[in-house]
Amino acid sequence: MKVRTFAPATVANVCCGFDVLGFAVDFPGDEVMLTLNMSQEVTLSKIVGDGGRLPLDASKNTAGVAVQSFLKSIGKQQGVEIELYKNLPLGSGMGSSAASGVAALVAINHLMGNPLTREQLVVHAMEAERIACGSAHADNVAPCLMGGFVLVRDYNPLDVIKIPATKNLYATLVHPQIELKTSDSRRVLKPTVNLKDAIAQTGNIAGLMIGLTSKDYSLISRSLQDKIAEPIRSAFIPGFEQVREAAVRAGALGCGISGSGPTMFALSTDHATATKVGEVMQLEFLKNNLKSEMYVSKVNQEGARILDEK
């Protein structure tokens, strides 16, 4: 019993939704090959593409932790062997740790006969996030599992909602060649938010929800602003403001930091604009001596998927 799965990159926060909003893209993403065996243990037999940096110890690896948490919840002691194929760069802000955990979860859930729904898998993927970056946020793992734009309305109890958003949005991801650890990018944030910023953020997240569901692209555009994380985190991204301005000048609805960065994302209404936007973003990074990779895709609607099984 063997299955190969794919879990996509995700953009968390989407400017105004710090820790409560994210969306998935079609690619890039991580792959997992998961095999059931008679050992009663969860093991990682290999990790490809991480340059030897991720732990093979299943209790320290996001894929292993997610599977262990899942098996515990369904009360099964099952031998599992995981092969992890990392295509997402570490510390990129593209939901790399989330994708590994989610790919493994979708695989084990499938092989066990799908006892849990995608929504019910979110808590197990959050446990993996806790191991990877010290905080069990859901704004990468929920869209990675469920596809589309997903709102985390509350964490206690967890309430995740797939937003019936317009499907006509294209995402541009530009990943400059620097690395930022999510734990570090979280540590710099202030523990409190001032009232003026809280008011602006609340207006923007509400505006974005309405814009996405009513296909009001001008409202989406006006709402893609962050008063909480970006003003602090942008200091870690050379050329941040120029990159953002260039993206908007080239026709993007908005542009900001993807998750905890350094990847920057933009949203556009067609593929050609999304590509042009990516090119100008790359040029601005180059002016700061930063090479980058660019990915353009539609906002993904399905989330992680089964590739094949034997």
Q: Binding-site residue total for ligand HSE (CB under 6 A)? A: 14
Decide: is 234 part of the binding site for ligand HSE (CB under 6 A).
no
What minimum distance in Å lies between the beta carbon of 67 and ligand HSE? 21
Residue 154 Cα distances to 21, 160, 205, angstroms = 11, 7, 14
- Which residue type sits at 304? A
Question: What is the number of H-type helices and E-type strands within the chain?
Answer: 10, 11
Of 12 and 209, which CB lies nearer to ligand HSE in the complex structure?
Answer: 12
Of 156 and 218, which CB lies nearer to ligand HSE in the complex structure?
Answer: 156
Of 97 and 292, which CB lies nearer to ligand HSE in the complex structure?
Answer: 97
Angle of helix 271-287 relative to helix 240-249, nearest 10 degrees?
150
What minimum distance in Å lies between the beta carbon of 257 and ligand HSE? 8
Strands 42-48 and 149-155: unpaired
Which 8-state DSSP code applies to residue 254?
A: E
Decide: is 239 part of the binding site for ligand HSE (CB under 6 A).
no
- Given the structure tokens 């063997």, which residue do they identify? 2
Q: Cα–Cα distance between 260 and 195 in angstroms, integer?
A: 23
Decide: is 9 part of the binding site for ligand HSE (CB under 6 A).
no
Decide: is 292 part of the binding site for ligand HSE (CB under 6 A).
no
Which 8-state DSSP code applies to residue 199?
A: H
Among 2, 19, 116, 181, binds ligand HSE (CB under 6 A): 19
Q: Considering only residues 177-206, where is the footprint of ligand HSE by CB under 6 A? A: 182, 185-186
In the complex, the residues that contact ligand HSE under the rule CB under 6 A are: 12-13, 18-19, 93, 137, 139-140, 182, 185-186, 229, 259-260
